[in-house]
Structure 1
């Protein structure tokens, strides 16, 4: 009988050049899923990404520290224990301009893809 659960003990560590740790537990890189991706991330102080307009909704839950979002011109800061859903096709910039590490979980529906994140040139 096929098991009706999957335990992920070896997430895919996404190679980065900006000091951010990305561990994908479920999604395109690990399980070839296209409907959802779940990742654990750690953003160092001073980290930021370019603006992007993803073709997926993104849910973020802050485990530790703070994370800043610029969403359609609004500046939103989430702290430990808070979460947010950002609708797909929304222009957003993620950053950690604070003096402490930010640890968080990110869930994307459909799954994160470099082909559908639509990052802008800086």
Structure 2
């Protein structure tokens, strides 16, 4: 048995907001509940509703900028910066800027739609 797994076909999460989500490792792509790793591209002017995930989320910005509203604080990250947001923290992710934002998101345990706790708009 191999001691590694090379991911060549990430699961592309269907979206309706123009955001690209490629899950390389996680619940859907590799049946891994412990961690998820996704490559994402958020288009200009994109945003999600507030949420209070039951998992930690780490974000590394590859290019562009991304805005986070964490509890009541606005944080903007640029290329080369990263952030860790603790589980059970109210957060909104968005890209209110004029350029796409490319980034990597890592969730621990793995991202789970049933544990993201998105608010209604």
Normalising TM by the smaller chain, what interval? over 0.9
- Give 3-state SS (helix, strand or coil) of 1:105's partner: strand
Match of 1:22 in 2: 21
Secondary structure (helix, strand or coil) at the match of 2:113 reads coil
Tell me the CA shift for residue 64 of structure 1. 0.3
TM alignment of 1:1-122, pairs within 5 A = 2-122=1-121
Matched residues in 1 for 2:98 and 2:10: separation? 27
Q: Which runs of 4+ in 1 moved over 4 A?
A: none
**Count of matched residue pairs:** 121
Q: Distance in 2 between matches of 1:99 and 1:68?
A: 12
Measured in 2, the distance between the counterparts of 1:114 and 1:32 equals 14
SS of the residue 1:115 aligns to: helix
Equivalent-residue separation in structure 2 for 1:64 and 1:9 (angstroms): 22
Gaps of 5+ in 2: none
Where structure 1 has 5 or more consecutive residues not aligned to the other structure, the ranges are none
Offset at 1:115?
Answer: 0.2
